[in-house]
Amino acid sequence: MIDDRYYVKIVPHKGETVHRLQITRRHIFAALGFVAFVILGSLGFAALTALRAHAQVATLRAETDAQKATLHQIDRQTDALRKQLQSVQRQNQEIRQLIGAPAPAKSPVKKTSWVRGSSLPAVAARMKLLSAEGSAVARETALTRRLAMHVLNIRHLRDLARAQMIAAIPSIDPVAGAEVIGCYCYRTYPDTEFHEGVDLAADYGDTVRAAAAGTVVANSYDGGYGIKVDIDHGNGYHTWYAHLSRAEVRIGQHVYKGEPIAAVGSTGFSTGPHLHYQVMYDGTPVNPTPFLTGVPANVLASLP
């Protein structure tokens, strides 16, 4: 059997003691096996590292694609939100025009400042700008709302004032649809003179109602008028209700349109139960007939 031992001599340079190492094939194979293991292990580790890096690259690429898709979606959403802001701003401008309010000094949404692009900095810049524009439009909307409420309140007060003015103008038949039996005209019976009111047919004791809101200034016997109620409507108009059997209101009392104030009678210069109804304006009698069925058109036209 061939000897499988090998010797390695180490001779120092200065000739000192020679060292001899004995190596067998087993040692050589073991060394070669160790070297091969190290090489294969290094190659396996390198391959594993490469695979892991490839997986990480794929993951990062997928995340990048997802981020790009998200940025693109955010970009579309910011565009949609900006269009909504512009729509709200247009509505605010229309409301201001309707209520007669001045337009704001400057528009909170500036088209020229909109940064285009799908990169993260560009989208971030648009989001920042959108936030500022949203705050500005919100402030403008709040101001427009306050202005609109102010104008609506003013108009409501004006409507109330107009309603109060109309309520104080004679506009109903005091005895609910009675027939006119004595005109506002010259007549010869029962006397010869100008009749300054109208006579309305009614039965004794029928209810007489105020033709408009006002204050009672008289409720006493007045010569040929008999028992008469005089209501001052505070706008130049007075209404007289005469030949009453009794008055049911007191002087100084405020009455509403349609409120009962007296009862029909035949006191004073009268030939039978009826109501003498007379309308005075600034101390001058006017024809009551147009006032029996509402406020006359020419009177309404003169109101503010």
Q: In the prediction, which pLDDT does 158 show?
A: 75
Q: Greater confidence, 16 or 87?
A: 87
DSSP labels, the chain: ----EEEEEE--TT--PPEEEEEEHHHHHHHHHHHHHHHHHHHHHHHHHHHHHHHHHHHHHHHHHHHHHHHHHHHHHHHHHHHHHHHHHHHHHHHHHHHTPPPPSS-S--GGGPPP-SSHHHHHHHHHHHHHHHHHHHHHHHHHHHHHHHHHHHHHHHHHHHHHHHHTS--S-TTSS--EEE-SEEE-SSSSEEE-SEEEE--TT-EEE-SSSEEEEEEEE-GGG-EEEEEE-SSSEEEEEEEEEEE-S-TT-EE-TT-EEEEEB--SS-SSSEEEEEEEETTEEE-SGGGGGSS-HHHHHH--
DSSP-assigned beta bridge partners for residue 237:
281
Mean pLDDT of 123-127: 70
Q: Which of 4-18, 202-216, 251-265, 283-297 has the lowest mean pLDDT?
A: 4-18
Instruction: Please state, in angstroms and rounded to a whole number, the distance separating the CA atoms of residues 98 and 147.
Output: 11
Residue 113 has pLDDT above 50, yes or no: no
Q: In the prediction, which pLDDT does 292 show?
A: 94
Instruction: Please state, in angstroms and rounded to a whole number, the distance separating the CA atoms of residues 32 and 26.
Output: 10
State how far the alpha carbon of 79 is from the alpha carbons of 75, 106, 289, in Å: 6, 21, 67
Instruction: Please state, in angstroms and rounded to a whole number, the distance separating the CA atoms of residues 278 and 183.
Output: 11
Q: In the prediction, which pLDDT does 257 show?
A: 94
End-to-end CA distance of the chain: 138
Q: Let me know: does 200 contact 194? Beta carbons within 8 Å.
A: no
Q: Let me know: does 277 contact 239? Beta carbons within 8 Å.
A: yes
Q: Greater confidence, 148 or 170?
A: 170
Please provide the size of the chain in residues: 304
In single-letter form, the type of residue at position 28 comes to I
> Does the model's pTM come out above 0.85?
no
Q: Please state the φ and ψ torsions of residue 214, each to the nearest 5 degrees.
A: 175, -165
Largest Cα–Cα distance in the chain? 175
Residue 59 has pLDDT above 70, yes or no: yes
Q: Greater confidence, 173 or 17?
A: 173
Q: Tell me the angle at which helices 25-99 and 120-167 cross, rounded to the nearest 10 degrees.
A: 20
Instruction: Please state, in angstroms and rounded to a whole number, the distance separating the CA atoms of residues 194 and 184.
Output: 8
Q: Which of 48-57, 131-140, 195-204 has the lowest mean pLDDT?
A: 131-140
Bond preceding residue 190 cis, omega within 30 of 0: yes
* Placement of tokens 């810049």 in the chain: 125
Instruction: Please state, in angstroms and rounded to a whole number, the distance separating the CA atoms of residues 277 and 295.
Output: 16
Q: Using pLDDT thresholds of 50, 70 and 90, give the confidence band for residue 290.
A: very high
Instruction: Please state, in angstroms and rounded to a whole number, the distance separating the CA atoms of residues 208 and 248.
Output: 10
Mean pLDDT of 258-268: 96
Proportion of the chain above pLDDT 70, given as a percent: 81
Q: In the prediction, which pLDDT does 274 show?
A: 95
Most confident of 80-94, 101-115, 140-154, 176-190: 176-190
Domains and CATH numbers, the chain: 1-167 (no CATH), 180-302 (2.70.70.10)
Proportion of the chain above pLDDT 90, given as a percent: 36
Q: Using pLDDT thresholds of 50, 70 and 90, give the confidence band for residue 8.
A: low
Q: Let me know: does 115 contact 125? Beta carbons within 8 Å.
A: yes
Q: In the prediction, which pLDDT does 116 show?
A: 53
Instruction: Please state, in angstroms and rounded to a whole number, the distance separating the CA atoms of residues 266 and 247.
Output: 13
Residue 197 has pLDDT above 60, yes or no: yes
Q: Using pLDDT thresholds of 50, 70 and 90, give the confidence band for residue 112.
A: very low
Q: Greater confidence, 116 or 247?
A: 247
Mean pLDDT of 211-215: 95
